[in-house]
């Protein structure tokens, strides 16, 4: 009888997540969540205008780093903290989740949070509400908003 040796395979969560974030740039797949609101069909992400939390949560969900997708930043951060994410000190690392200071929008009369990923070399990726896709930008400033917090998961440290 011939013994079959099974190779030891280790899934590299951080490297795979960062590769997916990079591959997601300019993707249109995070533009819509259709719901019924008061009996009417509605896209609560407004065709990509409000997709930042959904974008980040979909990628985190693929890697089982949160429990469910989210349309709002507050719900996403709550889910992250319940799943061993923590606020990190110092410079961000590839795969970290970033938040920027909230901004008031005159057209809607609402204050909106913003969330994205740190990619590498001072570059972040987050949903761009004008292009309605994930795009790259400097990590420390987004649309005039300074960086607010850096979140890290223990599986993404190595």
Q: Which residues contact 141 (CB under 8 A, 6 or more apart)?
A: 100, 147
How far is residue 68's CA from residue 58's CA, in Å, rounded to a whole number?
Answer: 8
The DSSP letter of residue 154 is: G
- Which is more confident, 158 or 119? 119
Tell me: the pLDDT tens digits for 56-108? 999 999 999 999 999 999 999 999 999 999 999 999 999 999 999 999 877 77
What local confidence, expressed as pLDDT, does residue 58 receive? 98
pLDDT at 116 over 90: yes
Domain boundary assignment for the chain:
30-156
Quick check: 150 and 96 in contact, CB under 8 A? yes
On average, the pLDDT of the chain sits at 95
Query: What is 30-156's CATH number?
Result: 3.90.1720
Partnered with residue 111 across adjacent β-strands are 104
CA dihedral 131, 132, 135, 139 (to 10 degrees): 110
């Amino acid at each position: 009888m011939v013994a079959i040796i099974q190779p030891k395979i280790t899934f590299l969560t951080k490297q795979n997540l960062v590769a997916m974030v990079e591959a997601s740039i300019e993707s249109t797949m995070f533009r819509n969540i259709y719901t019924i609101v008061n009996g009417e069909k509605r896209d609560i992400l407004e065709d990509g205008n409000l997709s930042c939390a959904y974008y980040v949560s979909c990628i985190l969900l693929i890697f089982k780093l949160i429990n469910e997708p989210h349309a709002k930043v507050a719900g996403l951060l709550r889910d992250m903290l319940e799943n061993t994410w923590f606020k990190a000190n110092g410079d961000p690392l590839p795969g970290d989740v970033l938040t920027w200071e909230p901004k008031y929008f005159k057209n809607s009369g609402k204050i909106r949070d913003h969330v994205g990923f740190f990619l590498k070399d001072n570059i972040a990726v987050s949903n761009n509400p004008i292009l309605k896709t994930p795009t790259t930008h400097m990590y420390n400033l987004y649309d005039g908003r300074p960086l607010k917090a850096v979140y890290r998961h223990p599986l993404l440290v190595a």
